[in-house]
Structures are given as C-alpha cells and as structure tokens.
C-alpha cells in the first residue's frame, strides 16, 4: 500500500474525485472543484490523499476548511475518511490519519478537526472528543474531534 498526495499526482485527480463521489454521494463537481483548488495551491487547505494497492484506490481522506457544519471556527477539517470494506481492519485508516497530520504539520497547521458519527474509533489514533456540532441540513448533532500535533 502507498499513500499518495494528489497534489503530487495530478494525473489521478479525476479518478480520485470520482472515487470519493462514489463513496459519499457528495456531488462529483464539488470534489473536482476542491481537488483542482488543491492542485493550484499546494501548500494549504484543501488537500486530498488516497491509499493505493497497485493501481486500485483502497482508501482516501481529505482536508478542507469546513466539513459542512455550523462551527466555522473549528478549522481545518479532516473529511471523507473511507477505506474499502475488503481492506478494513488492517490499520489503513490510522495510516491515512497519521499521514495527513504529518503533512499538515509541514504546512504549519498544528490542529485539525474531524466531524463524525463514530464513537471510540478516532480515539485510538490520538484524536479527542471536543464537542457536539450541528451538521448542515442534518437533524441530529454530530461529534467533533480535535487532534493537536
């Protein structure tokens, strides 16, 4: 498995946008726009990453300013964390999270936030529960986590 920074592999931008769209249902254009922005501004947010096994995308993660919630002050946000089912329970999500934290630290970003419905998953990778936030157009509150590097 190899983790790839999309900003260093522009040829994978479209495939990456399509893969994230297929997992999360967010409009394809939103992913394409965010990935294009990351290619133009390579040293800040947004950023996108994929885990590859040979030529197959097996996982992915992004960093954006706000992951569709009302706490605009809690930024930037890790988003779209996903690992293909047949690759789960192999530590790939943890490797993606650590990789992103290291990369953001190089940009001078010392704190990241993450919005999720999961409980206890992110704690094993050094994330701490911060508070509940309201997701955009979501009826229920969601968990906000923080990670300081």
- The pLDDT of residue 43: 80
- The pLDDT of residue 100: 97
User: What is the Cα 121 distance to its own chain's centre?
Assistant: 15
Backbone torsions φ then ψ of 103, nearest 5 degrees: -65, -45
The bridge status of strand 111-116 relative to strand 77-83 is parallel
* pLDDT tens per residue across span 86-112: 999 999 999 999 999 999 999 999 999
Q: Is residue 15 within 8 Å of residue 58, measured between CB atoms?
A: no
- The pLDDT of residue 41: 83
Taking 90 as the threshold, does the pLDDT of residue 11 lie above it?
yes
Taking 90 as the threshold, does the pLDDT of residue 119 lie above it?
no
Taking 90 as the threshold, does the pLDDT of residue 123 lie above it?
yes
pLDDT band at 42 (very low <50, low <70, confident <90, very high): confident
- The pLDDT of residue 137: 85
Distance (Å, whole) CA 122 – CA 144: 11
- The pLDDT of residue 22: 98
Distance (Å, whole) CA 59 – CA 16: 10
Domain 2-148 has CATH 3.40.630.30: yes
- For 37-66, what is the mean pLDDT? 95
- Supply 75's token pair: 């930024």
| CA quadruple 37, 135, 100, 14: dihedral sign | negative
- The pLDDT of residue 63: 98
């Amino acid at each position: 498995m190899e983790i790839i920074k999309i900003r260093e592999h522009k040829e994978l931008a479209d495939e990456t946008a399509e893969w994230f769209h297929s997992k999360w249902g967010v409009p394809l254009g939103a992913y394409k726009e965010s990935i294009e922005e990351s290619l133009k501004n390579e040293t800040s947010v947004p950023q996108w990453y994929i885990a590859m096994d040979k030529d197959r995308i097996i996982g992915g993660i992004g960093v954006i300013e706000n992951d569709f919630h009302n706490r605009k002050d809690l930024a930037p946000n890790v988003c779209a964390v996903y690992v293909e089912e047949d690759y789960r329970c192999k530590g790939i999500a943890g490797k993606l999270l650590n990789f992103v934290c290291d990369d953001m630290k190089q940009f001078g970003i010392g704190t990241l936030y993450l919005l999720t419905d999961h409980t206890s998953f992110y704690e094993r990778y050094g994330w701490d529960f911060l508070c509940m936030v309201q997701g955009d157009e979501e009826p229920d509150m969601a968990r906000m986590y923080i990670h300081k590097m």
